[in-house]
Every structure is written in C-alpha cells, then in structure tokens.
Amino acid sequence: MTKGDETRDSVLREALAQSSQVGLRGITIGGLADAMEMSKSGLFSHFGSKEGLQSAVMDYAAEAFTQLVIRPALKAPRGEPRIRTLFDRWLGWGGYADYALPGGCIFVSVASEFDDAPEGPVRTKVVQLERDLLDTIETIVRGGITEGQFRESTDPAAFAHDLLAIVLGYNFSARLLRDPAATGRAHDAFDRLLDHIRS
C-alpha cells in the first residue's frame, strides 16, 4: 500500500468515526483535517469533493461491517446460530474494531439522515448498502428454511425488515434515551421474532 492510500485510509477511519456521531453531512473537511493534523487541501485532494468523501466513507463502512459482522456470522452454522451471531455482532460492532465507532452503527445513523434527501450519488449509495444488508439477512433466513429450522412459510423479506426495526429501536433506547434496559429488550424482541419463524 502506497503512502497516499495509507493516509487516505486513516482519514476514512477518522471520518467514519465522526460520521457515526454527527452523520455523513455533519463531517467537515476542516474538522477532519484538524483531527488528522494535516491541511484541508491535502486531505481534500484524496477525494476530489465532499460527495466523494461521503461516498468513500460509506464504502469504508460497508467493508468494515462485512469484516466485523457479516463474515463472522457466515462462519457460524446455518440457521439460528448464524442469524443470532449476525444480530449480536450488529448491536455492538462499533466496539469490535481496533478503532471505535463512538456513535454506534453508522447504517442506523445515516438511514434517517437521507430518507428525505433528494436523489444523488450519496443517497443512492446509502440505499444500495442498506438493501445489501437486508439481502444478506434474507439469504441467511432462506438458509435456515432450507435446513428445516425455520418454517417454510417464513417471509425472509419481512423477517429482515423486522430485524432491522429491532436494531433501530435498540439504537433509540440505548443511545438517545440511554436506557440500560435497551439491550435486554432488543434480545427479547429478537427471541420473539425467532420464535415466530421456528418450525
């Protein structure tokens, strides 16, 4: 990895951390340059535009999420263990990297930030990544159906949607309200969701 790629990478790591707290729109070239102790223009030249930076952050986040959440889940046995691993890691993946995401899951933070945004490359990317995430969940569910662990009548898309809703609710309780019961409730909801599709 060349020097340029190296700084680009560490800039993205910092940008991801900041985005998880203030959103993709909240990050600032100047603020990022300060945190990295480099010049605005030097940092800027790696991305060409703020949109380019935002897109790069989302790509970087997707890569990290794949490595820290999805890959470990796919290593677990098909069906319930796999979906449970995904859920557990998802709730806490901000803490699993050598760096941290102080603002929790960025896919949650960013979702409502772009829900009413006009069409544009960043929104398109956000939507696509969220869809990819739902697709992954659906695939795992389908695997569980094939295994016979989950009912034939299970609707994978509905399950994925409901699972995402649980994570959104968890984020609300844990981060906004700082409710200590958040984790327990999320797991309860998850168990109930699983009960419904178990055969």
Could you list the residues that contact DNA (CB under 7 A)?
2-5, 7-8, 27-31, 38-46, 48-51
Which residues, in sequence order, are CB contacts of 87 under 8 Å at separation 6+? 163, 166, 167, 190
Q: How far is the CB of 8 from DNA (least distance, A)?
A: 7
CB atoms within 10 A of CB 112: 10
Contact characters 23-42, a second copy, x per CB under 8 A: x-xx----------------
* Cα–Cα distance measured from residue 106 to residue 68, given in angstroms and rounded to the nearest whole number: 13
- Find where tokens 């990317």 sit: 125
Write the CB contacts of 181 (distance below 8 Å, at least 6 apart in sequence): 173
Q: Does 19 bind a second copy (CB under 8 A)?
A: no
Residue 108 contacts a second copy per CB under 8 A: yes
Question: Under the rule (CB under 8 A), what is the footprint of a second copy?
Answer: 20-23, 25-26, 102-104, 108-109, 111-116, 126-127, 130-131, 157-158, 161-162, 164-166, 168-173, 175-177, 181, 185, 188-189, 192, 196
